[in-house]
C-alpha cells in the first residue's frame, strides 16, 4: 500500500472514496492501525481523557502532544499523521501559534495539525499554509469549548447555528485547510456542508453523509468505560477481554501455575 498524502486524501473525495481515521496515542496501537490500512492517524487531545483520565481535554499540554505524536510517528508508514493542537497553544497570538504548530511537526513528526475553531482562524491558517504547515479544521462540537457549550452538546440545531457552521466551513476552506472534522452536527447539515466543499469532511457523531469517519480508538475497542456516546460503535469489548486475561494471570500466579517449566530458563 502506498503512503497516504494530502493530495491523495483530496483525490479520495473526488473519487467519492470514504476516508477512515482513528485516534492513536502510542507506538503499539499505531502500528496495528497503520498495518491494517487506516488512512489517517490522529493524535487527538482526547488523550487527556482516555489516557490521562482527566474530565476534559483542557489541561493537555503542547509537550504531551509532541511526546505522543513522536511515539505514534515511529509506527506510521502508510497513514497520514495529524496531531491536535491543545487548548491555548494557538489562540493567544499568531506568532506563538505558528511556532507551536511548527514544533509539533518538527519534534512530534506530525504531517499536519488539527485546530478547533471557525472563521476566526482564517488568518492563522493562511499563515501556516505559507510556512508549509497543513491544517485540518474542526467545527461543530468543539471539546475545548465544553464550558462555553455547557457540556458536550450537538451543535447547529437552529437556523442561526446552521448558518454559522456553513460560514465557518466555507471560510476555513478558503483559508486553506485540507480537510475538516465535523463533530456533533445533525446528519442533514453535515451532509450539506460536505457537499458544499471541495475538501473532504471527516465526521464524528455527524451521520453518514460526511466524506470520512473518525472515532476514538479506546471507544471503538470498548476500553474506555466512563462515557458511551450514542455515535460510538464498539467493534470489540476489550475491557471485558482484558479483565478476563488479568484475572487468569492473577489466579495462575497465586496457584503457582505461572511460570511453567517451558517458560523458565
Q: Decide if residue 39 touches ligand KIV (CB under 6 A).
A: no
Cβ-closest residue to ligand KIV? 44
Using CB under 6 A, which of the segments 40-48, 89-97, 167-175, 232-240 binds ligand KIV?
A: 40-48
Of residues 216 and 221, the one with the C-beta less far from ligand KIV: 216
Q: Per-residue b/e over 74-110, b at no fewer than 16 CB within 10 Å?
A: ebbebbbbbbbbbbebbbeeeeebbebbebbbeebbb
Choosing from 111, 120, 183, 237, which is the catalytic residue? 183
Strands 179-183 and 135-140: parallel
Q: Are strands 212-215 and 135-140 parallel, antiparallel or unpaired?
A: unpaired
Cβ-based nearer residue to ligand KIV, 42 or 154: 42
| 46-54, long-range: CB < 8 A, 24+ apart | 46/84, 46/143, 46/216, 47/23, 49/224, 49/226, 50/25, 50/216, 50/218, 50/219, 50/223, 50/224, 51/25
Q: How far is the CB of 43 from ligand KIV (least distance, A)?
A: 8
- 64 belongs to the catalytic site: no
Assess 186 for contact with ligand KIV (CB under 6 A): no
Is residue 204 a contact point for ligand KIV (CB under 6 A)? yes
Residue among 12 and 114 whose Cβ is closer to ligand KIV:
114
Q: Which residues are the active-site residues?
A: 183
Binding site for ligand KIV (CB under 6 A): 23, 42, 44-46, 84, 181, 183, 204, 214, 216
Amino acid at each position: 500500500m502506498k503512503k497516504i498524502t494530502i493530495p491523495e486524501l483530496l483525490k479520495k473525495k473526488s473519487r467519492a472514496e470514504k476516508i477512515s481515521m482513528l485516534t492513536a496515542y502510542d507506538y503499539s496501537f499505531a502500528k496495528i492501525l497503520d498495518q491494517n490500512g487506516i488512512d489517517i492517524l490522529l493524535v487527538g487531545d482526547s488523550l487527556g481523557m482516555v489516557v490521562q483520565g482527566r474530565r476534559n481535554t483542557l489541561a493537555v499540554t503542547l509537550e504531551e502532544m509532541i511526546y505522543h505524536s513522536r511515539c505514534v510517528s515511529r509506527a506510521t508508514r502508510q497513514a497520514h499523521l495529524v496531531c491536535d493542537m491543545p487548548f491555548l497553544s494557538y489562540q493567544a497570538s499568531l506568532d506563538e501559534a505558528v511556532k507551536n504548530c511548527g514544533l509539533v511537526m518538527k519534534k512530534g513528526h506530525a504531517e499536519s495539525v488539527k485546530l478547533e475553531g471557525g472563521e476566526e482562524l482564517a488568518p492563522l491558517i493562511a499563515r501556516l499554509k505559507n510556512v508549509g504547515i497543513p491544517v485540518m479544521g474542526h467545527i461543530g462540537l468543539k471539546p475545548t469549548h465544553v464550558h462555553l457549550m455547557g457540556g458536550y452538546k450537538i451543535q447547529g440545531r437552529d437556523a442561526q447555528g446552521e448558518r454559522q457552521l456553513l460560514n465557518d466551513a466555507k471560510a476555513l476552506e478558503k483559508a486553506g485547510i485540507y480537510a475538516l472534522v465535523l463533530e456533533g452536527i445533525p446528519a442533514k447539515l453535515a451532509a450539506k456542508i460536505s457537499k458544499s466543499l471541495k475538501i473532504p469532511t471527516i465526521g464524528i457523531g455527524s451521520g453518514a453523509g460526511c466524506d470520512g469517519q473518525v472515532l476514538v480508538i479506546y471507544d471503538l475497542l470498548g476500553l474506555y468505560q466512563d462515557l458511551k456516546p450514542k455515535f460510538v460503535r464498539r467493534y470489540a469489548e476489550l475491557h471485558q477481554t482484558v479483565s478476563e486475561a488479568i484475572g487468569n494471570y492473577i489466579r495462575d500466579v497465586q496457584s503457582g501455575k505461572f511460570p511453567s517449566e517451558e517458560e523458565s530458563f
